[in-house]
C-alpha cells in the first residue's frame, strides 16, 4: 500500500471530499487525523472509518492559529509524526458583487486561504525539523478548484481564495523544495458533495454544469481522493508546485457541450 505507516492530517474531512480522502488514505495504509469544525460530523466520520485503520478526530478551525497549533500537537501526541497534510477545508458564500459584505469576503479568505497558510507553516516546521534530523520529507496537498483560473461573478471571495491557493502552492513548493518536501494542489471541477447539493434539486443548475462538462457527469469525491493519494505518495516524487485539474474536461472546453436529457 502506497501510504503504509504515513501519518496524514486532512482538514475539513468530516464530510465530502475530505472524508473521501480520509477513507482512501486509510485504505492505502495511512494513519489519519480528521480535522474539522463540525465536531458531531467529525466524530461520526471516525466511527464510520475506524474499521479501516487508525483514525482520530481533532476539532480545529483552520482560520485560528491556536487551533492549528493544537492540531499539530494532538497529531504528534497520537501518532508521533506528520508525513502528509491535505489542506481541504473550504467554504463558499454566494453574493452579488455590489452587495457583497466585507465580513463574508474576510470569512471565505480566512478559511480557504489563510487556513491553508497557517496549517502549511505549522506542519512544514515539523517536516523541516524531521528532514534536518535525517528523516524522510513529507508532502502537502492543497484543495484548489477550477475557480483558481475560471471565475463566477456571484462567488468572488471563493474565486479569489482559490486563485490565491494556486500561488500559495507554487510559492511554498519553492520554499520547501530545498528540504525535498513537495507541495501540490488539486483543482476539482463539479464534485457531488454538500457544497453542490442544490444541483440535485435544480435541473437548470445541473444542465448549466453539464453543458460545461465534456465527460457528461458530476465527479465523485473518490475521484478527487485518488489524485490526493497519488500526489501524497512517492509515486509523485518528482512533482511539486503543480495544480492537477480533475474536472471532467471543463478547462480545455471553449463554449459548451450538448447535455443528455436536458429537459
Start-end of H helices in 54-197: 65-79, 102-109, 115-132, 156-176
* C-beta of 20 vs 128, nearer to ligand NAD: 20
- Residue 14 binds ligand NAD, judged by CB under 6 A: yes
User: Least CB distance from residue 250 to ligand NAD, whole Å?
Assistant: 11
- DSSP assignment letter at 259: P
* C-beta of 111 vs 127, nearer to ligand NAD: 111
- Residue 212 binds ligand NAD, judged by CB under 6 A: no
- Residue 61 binds ligand NAD, judged by CB under 6 A: yes
User: Least CB distance from residue 145 to ligand NAD, whole Å?
Assistant: 4
Site for ligand NAD (CB under 6 A): which residue of 21, 84, 108, 145?
Answer: 145
Contact criterion met (CB below 8 Å) for 88 and 21: yes
- Residue 143 binds ligand NAD, judged by CB under 6 A: yes
Long-range interactions of 124-133: CB distance < 8 A, separation 24+: 124/172, 124/175, 124/176, 124/181, 126/72, 126/76, 126/82, 127/82, 127/83, 127/176, 127/179, 127/181, 128/176, 128/179, 128/181, 130/81, 131/179, 131/180, 131/181, 132/179
Site for ligand NAD (CB under 6 A): which residue of 49, 85, 111, 141?
Answer: 111
- Residue 38 binds ligand NAD, judged by CB under 6 A: yes
Active-site option among 57, 158, 238, 255: 158
Q: Look up residue 237 and give its three cell numbers.
A: 516524487
Collect all residues with Cβ–Cβ distance below 8 Å to 103 and sequence separation of at least 6. Answer: none
User: Least CB distance from residue 173 to ligand NAD, whole Å?
Assistant: 18
Other C-beta atoms lying within 10 Å of the C-beta of residue 254: 4
Site for ligand NAD (CB under 6 A): which residue of 16, 157, 164, 248?
Answer: 16
| Phi then psi dihedrals of residue 68, to 5 deg | -70, -40
Interacting residues with ligand NAD between 69 and 108 (CB under 6 A)? 88-91
Active site residue 238: no
* C-beta of 135 vs 208, nearer to ligand NAD: 208
Query: Which residues here bind ligand NAD, judged by CB under 6 A?
Result: 11-12, 14-18, 36-38, 41, 60-63, 88-91, 111, 115, 143, 145, 188, 190-191, 193-196
Please give the positions annotated as active site.
Answer: 158
Amino acid at each position: 500500500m502506497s501510504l503504509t505507516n504515513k501519518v496524514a492530517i486532512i482538514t475539513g474531512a468530516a464530510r465530502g471530499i475530505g472524508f473521501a480522502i480520509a477513507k482512501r488514505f486509510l485504505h492505502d495504509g495511512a494513519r489519519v487525523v480528521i480535522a474539522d469544525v463540525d465536531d458531531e460530523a467529525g466524530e461520526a466520520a471516525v466511527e464510520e472509518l475506524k474499521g479501516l485503520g487508525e483514525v482520530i478526530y481533532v476539532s480545529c478551525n483552520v482560520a485560528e492559529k491556536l487551533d492549528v497549533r493544537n492540531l499539530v500537537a494532538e497529531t504528534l501526541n497520537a501518532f508521533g509524526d506528520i508525513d502528509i497534510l491535505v489542506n481541504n477545508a473550504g467554504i463558499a458564500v454566494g453574493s452579488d458583487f455590489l452587495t457583497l459584505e466585507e465580513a463574508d469576503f474576510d470569512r471565505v479568505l480566512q478559511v480557504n486561504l489563510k487556513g491553508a497558510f497557517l496549517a502549511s507553516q505549522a506542519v512544514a516546521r515539523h517536516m523541516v525539523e524531521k528532514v534536518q534530523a535525517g528523516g524522510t520529507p513529507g508532502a502537502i496537498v492543497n484543495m484548489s478548484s477550477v475557480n483558481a483560473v475560471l471565475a463566477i461573478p456571484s462567488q468572488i471571495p471563493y474565486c479569489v481564495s482559490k486563485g490565491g491557493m494556486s500561488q500559495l502552492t507554487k510559492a511554498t513548493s519553492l520554499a520547501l523544495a530545498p528540504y525535498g518536501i513537495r507541495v501540490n494542489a488539486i483543482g476539482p471541477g463539479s464534485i457531488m458533495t454538500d457544497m453542490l447539493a442544490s444541483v440535485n434539486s435544480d435541473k437548470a443548475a445541473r444542465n448549466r454544469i453539464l453543458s460545461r462538462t465534456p465527460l457528461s457527469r458530476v465527479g465523485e469525491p473518490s475521484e478527487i481522493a485518488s489524485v490526493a493519494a497519488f500526489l501524497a505518495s512517492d509515486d509523485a516524487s518528482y512533482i511539486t508546485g503543480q495544480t492537477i485539474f480533475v474536472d471532467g474536461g471543463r478547462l480545455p472546453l471553449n463554449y459548451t457541450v450538448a447535455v443528455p436529457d436536458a429537459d
